[in-house]
Amino acid sequence: MHNLIIFGGTFDPPHNGHINTAINVQKHFNFDRFLFLPCKTPVLKNEATATPTQRIEMLNLALASVDKTLHFQIDLSEINRDTPSYMVDSLQHFRKQFGEKIVLTLLMGDDAFSQLPYWHAWTKLLTLANILVIKRAGFDDRVHSDLIKELLAKHETKDSTAICEQTYGAIYHFDAGSFDFSSTWVRKELGKNKDLSAYMPEPVMQYIKQNDLY
C-alpha cells in the first residue's frame, strides 16, 4: 500500500454528506485505502447521542451499497481506545502500523480545519500527515485565524498530486460538492419527526426508526 486517507468523525448519524464527500474524493484521488475513523469520545463536541456500537452499525449500513472498488473501510482503533479521541494519537498509530514511507492524508471540512488550533497537539499533525480540506457550503475562509493563515502560507499546495505522493506536510483544498447540512442539523430535524430521506441512506433511516434514535 502506497497511500491512505483518513476520514475521522463522530458519524452521529452518518448521512449523505459524509458518504457523497467520501465518494467524490476517492473517485478523484483514488487512494489505495480510504478509512472511516469513528471516534469514541469527541473532544471538542458534545458527547455522541448514539452509542459507539450504533454508530458503527449505521456506518456499515451506509457503506454497504457503495462501490467496493472505492476501497472504503471502517477502522475501529479510536473506538477501541480508552483514552480521548485525539487525532494526533491516531496518526501516530497509523504511522507505527504502516511505516514511515506511507503517504498519510487526513480529510476534513473547512469548518473543522479552521478549528485546528484548538486540537490537542495540533502543530504535530502536519509532521505526520497531509491535510485534504473540503470546501463547505457557506463557510468563508477569509475568517481564518492568523495561526491558520500562517499554516496555509507554509504548507498549502496547488498541486493535487502532493496529497497522494508526499508523505506528510501538504495542505490541499478540494471541492467535493456542497452538502450544506450536518449531523447536528440531522439530529434536530429527526427530533421533529421530519422526513430526511433525501439526506440519509435508506438503511440508516430504517435503523434510526427501529432503534428510536434521536
pLDDT tens sequence across 104-140: 999 999 989 999 999 999 999 999 999 999 987 666 6
If residue 152 lies in a helix (H) or strand (E), which one and from where to where? helix 146-155
Domain map (residue ranges) of the chain: 3-183
Q: Provide the percentage of residues in the chain whose pLDDT is more than 90.
A: 82
pLDDT tens sequence across 154-200: 999 999 999 999 999 999 999 998 777 889 999 999 999 999 999 99
| CATH fold label, 3-183 | Rossmann fold (3.40.50)
Predicted TM-score (pTM) of the model is 0.94
CA distances from 145 to 39, 132, 134, 148, 154 (A): 26, 18, 18, 5, 14
pLDDT tens sequence across 3-23: 999 999 999 999 999 999 999
What's the whole-number mean pLDDT along residues 202-209?
96
Edge-to-edge strand ranges of the sheet holding 3-9: 72-74, 33-38, 3-9, 103-109, 130-134, 171-174
Q: Which three cell numbers stand for residue 9?
A: 468523525
